[in-house]
Amino acid sequence: MTDITLPLLGESVTEGTITRWFKAVGDTIAEDEALFEVSTDKVDSEVPSPITGVITEILVPEGETVDVGTVLARVGDAGAAPAPAAAPEPVAEATAPAPAPEPAAAPEPAAAASGDLADVTLPLLGESVTEGTITQWFKAVGDAIAEDEALFEVSTDKVDSEVPSPLSGVVAEILVPEGETVEVGTVLARIGSGAVVAAPAPAPAAPEPAPATPAAAPAAAPPAAEAPSAPSSGLVLSPVVRRLISENGLDASTITGTGLGGRITRKDVEAVVQQQAAGGAPAAPAAATPAPAAAAPAAPAPAAPASAPAASPAPAAPAAAPAAGQDGRLPLNNIRRRTAEHMVMSKATSPHVLTAMEVDFEAVEVIRRRHKAAWKAEEGFSLTYLPFILRAVADAIREFPHMNASLDGNDLVVHDELNVAVAVDLNFDGLLAPVVKGVEGKRLRALSQDVVDVATRARSKNLTPDDLSGGTFTITNPGQYGTMMQFPIINQPQVAILSTDGVHRKPVVVTDSMGSESIAIHSVGVLALAWDHRAFDGAYAAAFLAKMRDIIETADWEAELS
């Protein structure tokens, strides 16, 4: 039996939230197959299984946050069986009380398997991440899972991640339910070998226990009943769910979520896709969720009504719509919630001051127009203002190094390397600031490539925890929306953040080489610097911006691109 623990997922990450199990107890899983998804304060990740086997136990349910190193599940070999294999016993007793001694043999393999269960723990998902919330289990107890197959989804203060199973097997136990927050390293579930799936078979082998097989049908009834009580807002989407919705051209608002708090799960989306392919109405996502199967013993007798709940999702859709004039209540996702906490902390920690300066971008604009077609053909993306600004930041910081610093108690730590965090909007569903490393030694082309790379991976949820760590200075870029000037909040423990606002064509006074003045139409924008007054004073901040302005307006950008 192998314990699956929450791995270290990044520098200073100490916990993560299990957002989704891709396998359930009893499922087989292959080595390197996605086992679960974990979310940390930095990034969401799918965690693969380290071995091949069968999931015998899931110790930490979806939604729970645990520490790094916590045993999340257990994976056994082909002969393992899940601990919940004893579940068939009550069914057999209810069906045939007389042959009670015979079902007693069913728990025997489960007991033997308990020694061969592999723990699946919440892995370390990023720097400073110490906990995570299990938002969804992709497998239920008794399900087979392959190594690296998605087992669960976890949400942290930064991102949501699908965590893969570290081994193949059968999900024997799910210990942490959806919605629960646990520390990194917490055991979320246990996985046994492939025999787990076959373990329940001996119980119904007798002629009388045959009805135990239909007992699985009522297991689908509880999910159908739960779905109407938690209609999806359509706004809280995991990276994988968002990708599936986009790839299949679906509208999230039309999908009924069966996950925690009405969250849309991958199975909900897949069910809709299957129904569309079959030409059916998208009313069955609730029935597609096998996770609550453990609750089936609560109502094993009414086998006939099992078909009735299938129709219950239909009335659920009208119930989901709020009455006219009724306020809606949307729970903040982990990224939004942790961002809010960080921003409040930053405002309470640093005495923020804003210094802004108008900058003439005409020299940059001339270069952009001149190289527009060739650049797009070579790189595949447009040449924006941002790499020019990044280069100006790097050059100006050489003269004003205290901008590239952080506060540690009563010490100002001045960093040797310039690592710029670039704020990236996630389609209005949160904000991440992946880091471009070693900016001080890069030219325009490399900076452009790096910015596009981290922004693309941020929006596609392919960042690693290290991509979100180590920043020493931050840039936020609302200028694409034509902003005039924004007062950003410092990214702690840094001491400054630069807002690059909209660049507009406007009349300016220009002076020629002879000192004569005239009015011309130039591309002009504003750079707004929010800084920590504990680190330096206004003159230092203003001088830094003035240096940046001079670089942007007078640098030989043509030579830079050659």
- Domain annotation for the chain: domains and CATH numbers: 2-216 (2.40.50.100), 218-296+312-319 (no CATH), 350-561 (3.30.559.10)
- What one-letter code names the amino acid at 69? G
Hey, what are 182's tokens? Answer: 């646990």
DSSP at 501? E
Residue 318: band (very low, low, confident or very high) from pLDDT cuts 50, 70, 90: very low
338 vs 454: which has the higher pLDDT = 454
Average pLDDT over residues 506-513: 92
Predicted confidence at residue 11, as pLDDT, reads 62
Residue 323 confidence (pLDDT): 62
DSSP state of 9: -
pLDDT for the residue numbered 126: 67
pLDDT of 230 > 80? The answer is no
* Res. 57 pLDDT band, cuts 50 70 90: very high
Please tell me the distance from the alpha carbon of residue 505 to that of residue 414, in angstroms, as a whole number. Answer: 38
> Where is 319: in which H helix or E strand?
helix 313-320
Distance in angstroms (rounded) separating the CA atoms of residues 23 and 36: 7
At 256, is the pLDDT very low, low, confident or very high (cuts 50, 70, 90)? confident
Q: Which of 107-116, 256-265, 399-408, 544-553 has the lowest mean pLDDT?
A: 107-116
The 8 Å CB, 24+ separation contacts for 483-489 are 484/526, 485/356, 485/526, 485/528, 486/528, 487/352, 487/354, 487/528, 487/530, 488/528, 488/530, 489/343, 489/346, 489/347, 489/352, 489/530
Residue with tokens 């916590």: 70
Placement of tokens 């226990």 in the chain? 209
> Where does the pLDDT of residue 476 fall: very low under 50, low under 70, confident under 90, or very high at 90 and above?
very high
> Which range, 326-335, 387-396, 421-430, 457-466, is most confident?
387-396
Closest CA to 74 of 110, 115, 106, 37: 115
Contact 22, 163 (CB under 8 A): yes
Among the options 501, 537, 550, 556, which is catalytic?
Answer: 537
Instruction: Tell me the C-alpha to C-alpha distance, in Å, between residue 543 and each of 57, 335, 355.
Output: 61, 35, 10
Q: Give the pLDDT confidence score for residue 5 in this predicted structure.
A: 92
- CA-based nearest residue to 10, from 153, 149, 161, 150: 161
- Other CB atoms within 10 A of residue 467 CB: 23
Q: Could you tell me what percent of the chain has a pLDDT over 90?
A: 44
Report the alpha-carbon distance of residue 58 to residue 140 in Å, rounded: 9
Specify whether the CB–CB gap between 48 and 129 falls below 8 A.
Answer: no
Among residues 169, 121, 332, 114, the alpha carbon closest in space to that of 235 is found at 332
User: Band of the pLDDT at 470, cuts 50, 70, 90?
Assistant: very high
Of all residues in the chain, what percent carry a pLDDT higher than 70?
74
Set 342, 533, 550, 556: catalytic member: 533
Q: Is residue 351 scored above 90 in pLDDT? A: yes
| Over residues 213-237, mean pLDDT | 39
pLDDT (tens digit, 9 = 90+) per residue, 62-88?
988 898 889 999 998 866 555 544 444
**Segment 115-142, tens digit of pLDDT:** 578 999 998 876 667 888 898 999 999 8
Q: How confident is the model at residue 562 (pLDDT cuts 50, 70, 90)?
A: confident
Other beta carbons within 10 angstroms of residue 502's beta carbon come to 17
Query: Mean pLDDT of all residues in the chain?
Result: 79
**pLDDT tens column, 258-311:** 766 667 877 788 888 888 877 654 444 433 344 343 333 443 343 333 333 333
**β-bridge pairing 15-21 and 130-137:** parallel
Out of 100-109, 113-122, 356-365, pick the least confident: 100-109
- What's residue 191's pLDDT? 93
Tell me what pLDDT residue 553 has.
97
The Cα–Cα gap between 96 and 482 comes to 74
pLDDT at 227 (0 to 100): 34
**Angle ∠(422,425,428) on CA atoms, nearest 5:** 165
The pLDDT value recorded for residue 439 is 96
537 is catalytic: yes
Q: Produce one character per residue of 180-216: b if its CB has 16 or more CB atoms within 10 Å, e if not.
A: bbbbbbbbbbbbbbbbbbebbebbbeeeebeebeebb
Average pLDDT over residues 9-38: 85
- Cβ distance 170 to 192 under 8 Å? yes
pLDDT of residue 89: 43
**How far is residue 142's CA from residue 97's CA, in Å, rounded to a whole number?**
24
Kindly state the average pLDDT of the residues 238-263: 76
Neighbours of 416 (CB within 10 A): 8
User: Is-contact 527 499, C-beta < 8 A?
Assistant: yes
Is the pLDDT reported for residue 334 higher than 90?
A: no
pTM here is 0.51
Residue 335 and residue 158 in contact, taking contact as beta carbons nearer than 8 Å: yes
Give the span between the Cα atoms of 264 and 260, in whole angstroms: 8
Tell me if the bond preceding 493 is cis, omega within 30° of 0.
Answer: yes
**Torsion, CA 244, CA 246, CA 252, CA 255, rounded to 10:** -40
pLDDT higher than 90, residue 325: no
Residue 348 tokens, joined: 């309470």
Q: Which residue has the higher pLDDT, 374 or 41?
A: 374
Q: What is the pLDDT of residue 529?
A: 98
